[in-house]
């Protein structure tokens, strides 16, 4: 089995390690790379808790901002793992559902204890900040990184596609799926996907790549990484 991972490089390497015990050949072609934004003025000590909805947010926080012993609330298994690996503690996870994350924060914290620091990328899905503000929390939403789209495939990936040596390509967001589609069409290699299957985290992702001539398009039952790989009988 041959899988092409398209997440940013640190995320892809984390998945590669998780797949390390399986007889799977892993190739990596990041569709986006992470660039830090201006975060030097953030003082996390002014808040009662940190909130993350991406592993990249955790990575940039740990690299650019002085870490402090605050509770960390996260959504998504990869975000939880990134926070634990970075030594953040305690880490409270609400699975893969942003609505569950807001409900967890509302049930465990009090607006009277101070504001929340919500650290994200420039492109954000969901309405977490608004849901928390509707519950009377003060939320300081800081965009600390941007995910810059790749402009072309690497020569290695183009060669793999031309030789039809890729079996599965997982997609985690509509934006990454859209970038992939744009690169495929720019290269004029849509017809090279007839032996590859797309693994989509949601119907919104599937919609972006429907017409690319796949062998198959599979959609996860739940919006989680585990559910994506369960589509091909892999347990991470």
What does the pLDDT read at residue 39?
67
Nearest Cα neighbor of 87 from 51, 125, 115, 61 is 61
Q: Is residue 235 part of a domain?
A: no
Contact 169, 231 (CB under 8 A): no
Is 94 found in the same domain as 199? no
Is 141 found in the same domain as 40? yes
What does the pLDDT read at residue 40?
62
User: Could you report the per-residue pLDDT of 68-113, keeping only the tens digit for each?
Assistant: 789 999 998 888 988 998 999 899 998 778 889 999 999 999 999 9
Is 139 found in the same domain as 46? yes
Q: Is residue 84 part of a domain?
A: yes
Is 211 found in the same domain as 163? yes
Domain range for 11: 2-31+151-230
Contact 49, 73 (CB under 8 A): yes
Q: Is residue 106 part of a domain?
A: yes
CATH (domain of 223): 3.40.50.10090
Which of the residues in the chain have pLDDT under 70? Answer: 21, 39-40
Residue ending a domain, among 113, 147, 181, is: 147
pTM score: 0.81
Rounded Cα gap, residues 109 and 120, in angstroms: 20
Question: What's CA 203's distance to the chain center, in Å?
Answer: 16
Rounded Cα gap, residues 142 and 130, in angstroms: 14
What does the pLDDT read at residue 164?
93
Q: Left (φ > 0), alpha (ψ -120 to 50) or beta: where does 91 sit?
A: beta
């Amino acid at each position: 089995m041959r899988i092409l991972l398209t997440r940013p490089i640190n995320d892809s390497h984390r998945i590669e390690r998780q797949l390390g015990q399986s007889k799977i050949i892993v190739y990596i072609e990041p569709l986006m790379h992470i660039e830090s934004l201006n975060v030097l003025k953030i003082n996390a000590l002014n808040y009662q808790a940190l909130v993350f909805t991406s592993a990249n947010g955790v990575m940039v926080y740990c690299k650019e901002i002085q870490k402090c012993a605050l509770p960390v609330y996260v959504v998504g298994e990869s975000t939880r793992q990134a926070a634990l690996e970075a030594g953040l503690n305690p880490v409270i996870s609400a699975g893969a559902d942003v609505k569950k994350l807001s409900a967890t924060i509302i049930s465990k914290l009090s607006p009277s204890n101070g504001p929340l620091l919500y650290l994200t990328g420039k492109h954000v899905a969901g309405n977490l900040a608004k849901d928390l503000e509707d519950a009377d929390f003060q939320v300081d939403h800081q965009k600390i990184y941007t995910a810059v789209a790749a402009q072309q495939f690497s020569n290695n990936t183009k060669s793999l596609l031309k030789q039809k040596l890729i079996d599965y390509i997982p997609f985690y967001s509509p934006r990454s799926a859209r970038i992939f589609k744009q690169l495929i069409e720019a290269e004029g290699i849509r017809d090279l996907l007839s032996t590859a299957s797309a693994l989509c985290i949601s119907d919104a992702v599937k919609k972006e790549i429907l017409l690319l001539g796949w062998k198959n398009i599979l959609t996860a039952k739940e919006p989680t990484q585990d559910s994506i790989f369960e589509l091909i009988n892999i347990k991470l």
